[in-house]
Chain A
Amino acid sequence: MANVTLTIDGQKVTVPAGTTVLDAARSAGIFIPTLCHDPAIPGFGACRLCIVEIPGMRNLPASCVTTVAEGMVVHTASEAVIEARRTIIDLLLANHPQDCLTCEKNGDCRLQDYAFMYGVRQTSFHGERKNYPLDDSNPYIIRDQNKCILCGKCVRTCQAVPGRSVIDFGYRGFNTRVVTAMDVPLGESDCVYCARCVAVCPVGALTYKPMAGKGRTWEIQRKPVTCTFCESGCTFELNIKDGKVIGITAKEPGPGRPLCLKGRLGLELLYVEEPMTPMLKKDGRFVPVSWAEALGLEGVVARMKEVEGK
């Protein structure tokens, strides 16, 4: 495809036609903040934090969904852009708990990063805030909708796996939130706890329950590991603190990598020193099960015992 040359913050950048302004800027080492942008599922354009100024264009376009054009001039940090970004962060903070001290995501939170970067110390709006009960209905994922910034990454990553689509947006306006079908708690939904959603959540709205309280993000080293339970070969990460594996989390899911609970549990059994008893849903309730049952190996184990007995 032909190349296009544009100017970003005074710097000439040449990229293939069809590239987004965001990718063009990133390729030139120019930083643009994003919350909803997911390189695996691009084109959503919801958080509006990545807006830039392009003379000749109406308004401030979102760089993640604006394609480059020959001769285009882009300002990523003009006065209008900074004001808009600060205001958007301000608006998000106005509807977000300020409990970073105890948040699992502290230190690895995009909202926190951008508030720091743009110097938004606290929100300037003091009005209604979301007040939803914590969804603690299952053994694997903690869902705190009060922290949700509605970037929709979880929704899109869930929909990217055929047959899942467990969550989607529900309600309208200020009451918009991510819901399961009929808005039941996650534990009662068809969720299979692959935790793709947890892996992509930029804030602390979705956290991995087995890791809760086990360490701060900066104390944890991460090491990728490939799951070999099936041919998909999904990548997970060993979370290591003080030399001990304290949990397994999913690495950012990509196309063709469905991730699954079985794979993650299998890796936990392999790597985690004291793995949590696996839980499976039976008759709508989570019950502890044997590792053989959790990993679907009951038949094999039984057969092995049979052979052993002979």
Chain B
Amino acid sequence: MKSLMDKCCEKCFHSPASPCKDYIKCRRQGPLCHEDESCRAKYKAFLEDIHLPEDSSRRQILICAGTGCTSSGSRKLVDALVEELQKQGLQDRVSVKITGCHGFCEQGPLMIVEPQKIFYTRVQVEDIPEIVAGHLVGGQVVERLLYVDPATGEKSLTYETVPFYAKQKRLVLANCGHINPEEIADYVANDGYLALTKALFEMTPEQVIEEVKISGLRGRGGAGFPTGMKWSFVRAAEGDKKYVVCNADEGDPGAFMDRSVLEGDPHAVLEGMLICGYAVGADEGYIYVRAEYPLAIHRLKIAIAQAEECGLIGDNILNSGFNFHIKIKAGAGAFVCGEETALLTSIEGNRGMPRPRPPFPAQKGLWGKPTNINNVETFANVPLIIRNGGAWYAAMGTEKSKGTKIFALTGKVNNTGLVEVPMGITMREIIFGVGGGIRDGKKFKAVQIGGPSGGCLPEEQLDLPIDYESLTSAGAIMGSGGLVVMDETTCMVDVARFFLNFTQAESCGKCTPCREGTKRMLEILTRICEGQGKEEDIETLERLARVVKSTALCGLGQTCPNPILSTLRYFRDEYEAHIRDKRCPARVCQALLVYTINAEKCTGCGSCARACPAGAISGEKKQPHVIDISRCIKCGNCMQKCKFGAVEKA
């Protein structure tokens, strides 16, 4: 017996060819079919290997092997640690385990010492000997590697006390960072596949759908369609063949919740898809994951292979008569393929362009068959709902938006990373609570929510309880849950221009308003940022935004004007300052800046004049210098070089 998933003795007959319905329960409480102390001990030992009891004298070191920590060198830590443990003869007492993403990537590489929950940040190879000798042998926590709260300066010993985590409610992300995503036994030891067992043997497909309906779960991909309702449509749709598709084409800049779930807890997504397949009557599933997520694809492949080997994916799963197979389709990197009809077209082998709805995928989806398509986070919620009941889930959140939502918090905020919070929390709690406030003590200006198609919300909207409806009425969208925090040094016209640049480049080009409209909106915004704005530009922008929003074929086009509309709604004065006064209030738009030298601060050192590539600065030695505005190319070199803060921009 090499793993928890293997048979304890010859009495166990479970295999994909001769499945046993008690397989999962057996591995956690077993053996169930026969009494044998030594068999029981074997399972228990494996379970305790995965979850060290709190009083264990053994230690388990979890090293994050998510994309973020891997790129900051966590793989080297694993090798160094294993080597050092061997050197010290600790390999039997201390085990090393890789995990998925913790969501706090900026502090990576992250390391946890269990069962004490000690949380080390930014660990480097050079720190390994100290961790081994000091902590593991000497029992002294390496203080300098603990997390320090930038706001209070306080250190946190365990991950539970890190403010970033303490204020979250991690349900979907519960396993991420704590289990080995490349080991199915880790998932099973953490209640994995119990929901599938429950659905297959204690519930009818209709009851599963009803439970999802009760939970109030809504699509986490952005539009927020009620998941249970979608499932019931697919179940009711007529067809000899049905599909379940997982949309893992996460493309919003800065959003990486789906990637982290796939990398950190792939079996949760597979289990969600299996339950969905059982509920809607499908026997085949596709995961459409972007090729830019090689690690997620790698882990998914491992997870699928292990689940197949254990008989959890395939024919006659757990002797229930339910068949389900899962395939991976790697997307070629088109943002629009996150749109469901474009995604299906892409799986079919065609250019990923959206098609009109109706017919909706539930009626005519993949290869014209009824298809249930949900995103990664939605599927990852399903096992929780089935295991704990829909009512448990519905107890969290607001009236119309239930459960938790993962946000990718980024921008000018102290703590950036993945944040899972209950629906209905305010933006202020996320940014100033979990996020620890604005970086460098600057003033908050706006938060962009929902990716490039989302909207920018100002200070006065910070106390808005977050749910699908409230965000829409405020001019933003839930989207995939990207949160970009901006401070007073951000120009809102420039922000709108940035997002339009993205949507314009990612438009598939099929429908006229999106293809041509985004281009013209981008050109107008660029012109305004360059000081060439005209009085009628705002009106033209509003007209274009209105028409593109109301006539575009797919969600990309219908939402791409949101950054313009929301900034016009809340920051119209900035547009007017650019157009009328030729002034950028945030001092970002280069063409509108005027550099001057404050004669009182200038010491006449001349370093600015030497740095100026245009020869625009002149002045006598030790006398205040002046900038010739007509020759200034606004490169900002002088400002960077001045040690006295004498160069000012306005």
Instruction: Give the chain B neighbours of A152 by CB distance below 8 A.
Output: 510
Q: Are B509 and A169 in contact (CB under 8 A)?
A: yes
CA distance A45 to B359 in the complex (A): 13
Pick the residue among A59, A80, A88, A127 that contacts B519 (CB under 8 A).
Answer: A127
Pick the residue among B351, B353, B356, B518 that contacts A173 (CB under 8 A).
Answer: B518
Q: Are A124 and B356 in contact (CB under 8 A)?
A: no
Q: Mark B545-573, 1 if CB is under 8 A from A, else 0.
A: 01101111100001000000000000000
User: Would A172 and B511 be within 8 Å (CB), given that A45-B553, A62-B356, A94-B520 are in contact?
Assistant: no
Q: Are B519 and A46 in contact (CB under 8 A)?
A: no
CA distance A80 to B546 in the complex (A): 9
CB distance from B498 to the nearest CB of A (A): 15
Q: Are B351 and A169 in contact (CB under 8 A)?
A: yes
Q: Tell me which of A48, A62, A67, A175 has the highest count of chain B C-beta atoms within 10 A of its own C-beta.
A: A48
Q: Does B516 contact A (CB under 8 A)?
A: yes
CA distance A94 to B512 in the complex (A): 12
Q: Are A45 and B511 in contact (CB under 8 A)?
A: yes
CB distance from B181 to the nearest CB of A (A): 33
Q: Are A92 and B356 in contact (CB under 8 A)?
A: no
CB distance from B549 to the nearest CB of A (A): 7
Q: Does A289 contact B (CB under 8 A)?
A: no
Q: Which residue of A lies closest to B543 (CB)?
A: A87
Q: Does A128 contact B (CB under 8 A)?
A: yes
Q: Does A218 contact B (CB under 8 A)?
A: no
CA distance A64 to B513 in the complex (A): 16
CB distance from A304 to the nearest CB of B (A): 48
Instruction: Give the chain B neighbours of A59 by CB distance below 8 A.
Output: 549-551, 558
Instruction: Give the chain B neighbours of A171 by CB distance below 8 A.
Output: 509
Q: Are A83 and B356 in contact (CB under 8 A)?
A: no
CB distance from A221 to the nearest CB of B (A): 33
Q: Mark B505-540, 1 if CB is under 8 A from A, else 0.
A: 111111111011111100100000000000000001
Q: Are A46 and B551 in contact (CB under 8 A)?
A: no
Pick the residue among B355, B505, B510 that contacts A169 (CB under 8 A).
Answer: B510
Instruction: Give the chain A neighbours of B509 by CB distance below 8 A.
Output: 150, 169, 171-176
Q: Does A41 contact B (CB under 8 A)?
A: no
Q: Which residue of B lies closest to A169 (CB)?
A: B351
Q: Does A60 contact B (CB under 8 A)?
A: yes
CA distance A102 to B241 in the complex (A): 55
Q: Are A174 and B519 in contact (CB under 8 A)?
A: yes
Give the contacts of A41-87 with B (CB-CB under 8 A). 43-49, 51, 59-60, 62, 65, 67, 80, 83-84, 87
Give the contacts of B476-526 with A (CB-CB under 8 A). 504-513, 515-520, 523
Pick the residue among A48, A168, A172, A176 that contacts B552 (CB under 8 A).
Answer: A48
Q: Are A173 and B519 in contact (CB under 8 A)?
A: yes
User: Would A174 and B551 be within 8 Å (CB), given that A127-B523, A150-B509 are in contact?
Assistant: no
Q: Does B544 contact A (CB under 8 A)?
A: yes
Q: Are A84 and B518 in contact (CB under 8 A)?
A: no
Q: Does A301 contact B (CB under 8 A)?
A: no
Pick the residue among B507, B510, B543, B550 that contacts A46 (CB under 8 A).
Answer: B510
User: Would A174 and B547 be within 8 Å (CB), given that A45-B356, A127-B520 are in contact?
Assistant: no
Q: Tell me which of A43, A87, A95, A173 has the highest count of chain B C-beta atoms within 10 A of its own C-beta.
A: A173
Q: Does A292 contact B (CB under 8 A)?
A: no
Q: Are A173 and B510 in contact (CB under 8 A)?
A: no
Q: Does A28 contact B (CB under 8 A)?
A: no
Q: Does B321 contact A (CB under 8 A)?
A: no
CB distance from A81 to the nearest CB of B (A): 9
Give the contacts of A189-245 with B (CB-CB under 8 A). none
User: Would A91 and B506 be within 8 Å (CB), given that A60-B551, A84-B550 are in contact?
Assistant: no
Q: Are B510 and A128 in contact (CB under 8 A)?
A: no
Q: Are A173 and B515 in contact (CB under 8 A)?
A: yes
Instruction: Give the chain A neighbours of B506 by CB distance below 8 A.
Output: 172-173
Q: Does A25 contact B (CB under 8 A)?
A: no
Q: Which residue of A lies closest to B507 (CB)?
A: A173
CB distance from A76 to the nearest CB of B (A): 14
Pick the residue among A83, A92, A175 that contacts B543 (CB under 8 A).
Answer: A83
Q: Are A48 and B549 in contact (CB under 8 A)?
A: no
Q: Are B558 and A128 in contact (CB under 8 A)?
A: no
Q: Are A125 and B513 in contact (CB under 8 A)?
A: no
Instruction: Give the chain B neighbours of A6 by CB distance below 8 A.
Output: none
CA distance A15 to B222 in the complex (A): 37
User: Would A91 and B516 be within 8 Å (CB), given that A46-B553, A48-B553, A173-B505 are in contact?
Assistant: yes
Instruction: Give the chain A neighbours of B553 by CB distance below 8 A.
Output: 45-46, 48, 62
Pick the residue among B355, B356, B504, B547 that contacts A88 (CB under 8 A).
Answer: B547
Q: Are A172 and B508 in contact (CB under 8 A)?
A: yes
CA distance A67 to B357 in the complex (A): 11
Instruction: Give the chain A neighbours of B520 by CB distance below 8 A.
Output: 91, 94, 125, 127
Q: Does A149 contact B (CB under 8 A)?
A: yes
Q: Which residue of B lies closest to A35 (CB)?
A: B512
Q: Are A87 and B544 in contact (CB under 8 A)?
A: yes
Pick the residue among B353, B512, B543 that contacts A149 (CB under 8 A).
Answer: B512
Instruction: Give the chain B neighbours of A124 by CB distance below 8 A.
Output: 540
CA distance A174 to B510 in the complex (A): 10
Instruction: Give the chain B neighbours of A67 by CB distance below 8 A.
Output: 358
Q: Does B246 contact A (CB under 8 A)?
A: no
Q: Are B547 and A87 in contact (CB under 8 A)?
A: yes
Instruction: Give the chain B neighbours of A92 by CB distance below 8 A.
Output: 512, 516
Q: Are B515 and A48 in contact (CB under 8 A)?
A: no
Q: Are A88 and B512 in contact (CB under 8 A)?
A: yes
Instruction: Give the chain B neighbours of A47 by CB distance below 8 A.
Output: 511-512
Q: Does B185 contact A (CB under 8 A)?
A: no
Q: Are B523 and A43 in contact (CB under 8 A)?
A: no
Pick the residue among B356, B510, B513, B551 that contacts A65 (CB under 8 A).
Answer: B356
Give the contacts of B248-266 with A (CB-CB under 8 A). none
Q: Does B334 contact A (CB under 8 A)?
A: yes
Instruction: Give the chain A neighbours of B547 by CB distance below 8 A.
Output: 83-84, 87-88
CA distance A175 to B506 in the complex (A): 10
Pick the residue among A65, A127, A150, A168 that contacts B515 (CB under 8 A).
Answer: A150
CB distance from A211 to the nearest CB of B (A): 28
Given A48-B553, A169-B510, A174-B515: 17 more A-B contacts, CB < 8 Å: A43-B356, A48-B511, A51-B550, A59-B558, A91-B517, A94-B520, A128-B523, A152-B510, A168-B351, A169-B351, A172-B506, A172-B507, A172-B509, A173-B505, A173-B506, A173-B519, A174-B516
For the complex of A and B, 5 pairs with smallest distance between CB atoms: A176-B509, A91-B516, A65-B356, A45-B356, A127-B523
Binding site for A on B (CB under 8 A): 334, 351, 353, 355-356, 358, 504-513, 515-520, 523, 540, 543-544, 546-547, 549-553, 558
A-B residue pairs in contact (CB < 8 Å), sample of 19? A43-B355, A48-B551, A48-B553, A62-B553, A67-B358, A80-B550, A83-B547, A88-B513, A91-B516, A92-B516, A128-B523, A149-B512, A150-B510, A169-B509, A173-B507, A173-B515, A173-B518, A174-B519, A176-B510
